[in-house]
Amino acid sequence: MKAFFEVLEQLYRKVLLGATLENDSHDYIFYLNPAFSDQDCSTTTSSDCSNILDVHGKHQPSSVNLATPSVAPVCLQRHFQMNSTREIMLLQLTVIKVMMTRILSVETELHAKEKYRDIIKMLLKSSDIDSKLTCMFQNSDKLLSHMAAKCLALLLYFQLKEKITLSNSWISFCQKNLSEYTESDKVVHCLWMLTFVIKEIFKDTCSQKTEILKQFLTPFDTIFEVFYNSLFSQHFENHQDTSKLINSLICFLELLELLIASRIHLKLHFTCQRMLFLKPSCVFNVITWPIQAFVKRKFIIFIKKCLLCKVGEDLCRGSVPTFMAPDHPLDVDLLALADAVLQAVDLGFLRTLSVYGKPSCFGGDEVQPGCECVPGPDHVILRAASLLIIRSLEIKFQNGASANEMKVDLQRFMSELLTFLKPHLQPSLRSHNLCEWLSRVFIEQDDDMLEAAKTAMGIYLKLTRECEATESLTQEKEMWNHHTHENGYNPHCIFLFLLKNIGFDSTVLLDFLISSETCFLEYFVRYLKLLQKDWDNFFTICKYFDITESKDNVNICCCISSLVQDRSSNQTEPSPLAVLGNHRDAHAWVSWASEASSEPLNHAVMSEEAQATLQANNLSPQRTSQSLVDYETSDDSEEESTDQRLANSRLTSLHQEAMKKIQDTIGTSRDKKELILESQSRSLVPKESNTPFSVDCDIGPNNIVSKVGISYRTVKCFEELQGAIYRLQKKNLFPYNPTALLKLLKHIETIYNRSMTPL
């Protein structure tokens, strides 16, 4: 039998190299056909199969000549005896697996690939290998079982691609074991193989993926629903060995995600693809089980991906389209899932989440002796729970609701969410900066942060349209504006907090725009369109940011909330929201605020020079990161360095001498168009003055806030971004056509310059 093993070994080496096989295909079938009968199922071990060697020895073909190839052979480290039946079967399965991989690979030479395909087709027809492998993966030998399952999954996928009818024995085996949940390894094997085949179909580049998957899912459509009900109706406490249940949950969750992904991306319509949407409470029940935290985390992330329609994106070859065609049945199902999420929150879902636990790291969750374990919340859970709620609200509002209903729901659920988040955010999230919650929670995850920002803006736009249609009185609009801050979803605040977190660095925004891993382009375009229409409100909020930054970083929402409350209790005092309806009258609020304050305003504000220095240091960090622009010459690099130094010097100027220096430098390095733009914004760089500070933009030279105010920093960031995009576009380095985006940025710059020009 040593000769039999050596032939297999040489065959393995040739297939591994992708070499063409010269002998007749029938000769190879003899060596690849496992001698494994149905009666050996589940009880056979390697010691029970000694007769297999005798079977192989009787009809060994003499025509097979597998000389070792001249290339360097693959070293097979063997620590077993040559007469081992187990090793013979493992090597047979390995050769089949490698041959299947070679068939599916685009790198395999065409003639060799055709030979491999012919051998596999003959093996499927002549040896009933499906039944044998189905028996083998029930073997008590874990390695043999795993190899058999992998080979069978590859053969199933091959049959689907070649339009060969699937084995009835394997289909019956899966239907039987998935008809109800049992604590058996067979269930996990079935789920694993089903998942593997669907993944391979997803990764395929052929145009017939939908038809292939339809053929594969048809026999299992009903049985999946039966298993769904059986699995999620289990009582976790009643299981002595919970590991098998957890394995089944994890495997089925992966399969469920693929089924939903196939509905979204391949436009298939099976009942099994709607199980989650038809009975979402089953999945939510698992989160309430006394089960390990990582299982709950997986389920919450899964529901989040479903609501965002992000399931299966990592399996789709090429870019996933940002805008998908309308799918009314899917919209109905998403609404059902969103309603289930909100209902669960009403029933105390957030209180059941395990926010604290062992830290999850690449090396595991065990802390080594001598290493400090820093306690803290699980931010994955915080982010997922936050997105669950705001995305569910957006879906509900998009499907029809009155303005009053939306306001009530928004206040109730956002209050619940903020109450849940506050204990876990350090430093704590105080009542006067509620709009900051989003950037605080999602600071470590760019893609989720931008999804949350886009969702919050969608809620704001939907409510704004409804309120504009029903509310016309100034007082009602004031209260509506207050509502956006009180519940932490004002899009201007959210965007400004985002800019502050990245230090107003335009290169970060450029990175977001170029990347295909986030929805920043869609979010940014929608926000710029909103900014064009809502500039006065944006400018008002910027002034609140400027004022509160000068008062120990006390935030905008405090001013809005407290001042509206004071107005309702004392109608004789002017409302800041009413006064700031037009940003040119904003200075009236400062006088009112200074009178109402417990200490004089000039005591709460630093000296002009100290304040300007502090803000300039905060706003103009040393940028050590390299530019994203690929320069063709060193002159281009020098030009941008000059522009960057000019921008920084304008922001940090304190005196007339600095202003003169900027003007002189601009005259030598900027073209005429940039010189005109610079002269329009020159009023932002003030002269030295002893006049007490004001937020009125009309008092430019005496206004210390406007010197480095947040509105100026924002527009300056846009200006730098615009220049970087233009340079990339000029050199054909930008990944898409940015013309529309550049027009939006230019329009914002025009609006700003117009607003800063005295009447």
For 587-625, write each residue's pLDDT tens digit. 333 333 333 333 333 333 333 333 434 344 444 333 333
Shortest CA distance to 155 belongs to which of 170, 173, 177, 143?
170
- Count of beta carbons in the 10 Å neighbourhood of residue 305: 18
Q: What mean pLDDT do residues 727-734 have?
A: 93
Q: What is the pLDDT of residue 388?
A: 95
Q: What mean pLDDT do residues 153-181 have?
A: 90
Q: For 224-261, what is each residue's pLDDT tens digit?
A: 999 999 999 888 877 877 888 999 999 999 999 999 99
With respect to residue 414, please indicate whether it lies within any of the assigned structural domains: yes
- Count of beta carbons in the 10 Å neighbourhood of residue 617: 10
Instruction: Identify the band that residue 95 occupies on the pLDDT scale cut at 50, 70 and 90.
Output: very high
With respect to residue 433, please indicate whether it lies within any of the assigned structural domains: yes
Task: Assess contact for 488 and 434: CB atoms under 8 A.
Answer: yes
Rounded CA gap, 218 and 226, in Å?
A: 15
Q: Which of 245-249, 272-276, 469-473 is the least confident region?
A: 469-473
Instruction: Identify the band that residue 341 occupies on the pLDDT scale cut at 50, 70 and 90.
Output: very high
With respect to residue 393, please indicate whether it lies within any of the assigned structural domains: yes
Number of structural domains found in the chain: 4
Q: Does residue 172 share a domain with residue 161?
A: no
Task: Assess contact for 699 and 587: CB atoms under 8 A.
Answer: yes
Q: Does residue 467 share a domain with residue 413?
A: yes
Tokens of 547: 């004022």
Q: Which residues, including other chains, have CB under 8 Å from residue 679's CB and lie 6 or more apart?
A: none
Q: What is the pLDDT of residue 321?
A: 54
Rounded CA gap, 190 and 478, in Å?
A: 60
Q: Does residue 533 share a domain with residue 420?
A: no
Q: Does residue 173 share a domain with residue 161?
A: no
Instruction: Identify the band that residue 322 occupies on the pLDDT scale cut at 50, 70 and 90.
Output: low
Q: Does residue 134 share a domain with residue 12?
A: yes
- Higher-confidence position of 325 and 185: 185
pLDDT at 310 over 60: yes
Q: What mean pLDDT do residues 731-740 have?
A: 93
**DSSP 8-state code for residue 683:** G
Domain boundary (301, 318, 335) is at 318
Q: Does residue 289 share a domain with residue 248?
A: yes
Single-letter residue type at 272? C
Q: What is the pLDDT of residue 168?
A: 86
pLDDT at 517 over 60: yes
Q: What is the pLDDT of residue 126?
A: 79
Rounded CA gap, 34 and 93, in Å?
A: 8
Tokens of 507: 């290169």
**DSSP 8-state code for residue 570:** -
Range of the domain at 142: 1-33+79-165
Q: Which residues, including other chains, have CB under 8 Å from residue 316's CB and lie 6 or more apart?
A: 202, 265
In this prediction the pTM is: 0.75
Q: Tokens 């949350």 sit at which residue?
A: 452
Rounded CA gap, 442 and 458, in Å?
A: 18
Q: Write out the H or E segment, with its range, that includes residue 725.
A: helix 710-730
pLDDT at 634 over 50: no
Q: What is the pLDDT of residue 581?
A: 42
Q: What is the pLDDT of residue 471?
A: 58
With respect to residue 182, please indicate whether it lies within any of the assigned structural domains: yes
- Indicate the angle between helix axes 491-501 and 535-550, nearest 10 degrees: 50
Q: Which residues, including other chains, have CB under 8 Å from residue 36's CB and lie 6 or more apart?
A: 44, 49, 52, 89, 132, 135, 136
**Percentage, residues of the chain above pLDDT 70:** 67
Q: Does residue 228 share a domain with residue 251?
A: yes
- Higher-confidence position of 600 and 733: 733
With respect to residue 702, please indicate whether it lies within any of the assigned structural domains: no
Question: Does residue 34 have a cis peptide bond before it, meaning omega lies within 30 degrees of 0?
Answer: no
Average pLDDT along the chain: 75
Q: Does residue 299 share a domain with residue 235?
A: yes
**Segment of 89-93, 132-136, 656-660 carrying the highest mean pLDDT:** 89-93
Shortest CA distance to 499 belongs to which of 394, 618, 612, 381?
618
Rounded CA gap, 456 and 527, in Å?
A: 11
Question: Does residue 427 have a cis peptide bond before it, meaning omega lies within 30 degrees of 0?
Answer: yes
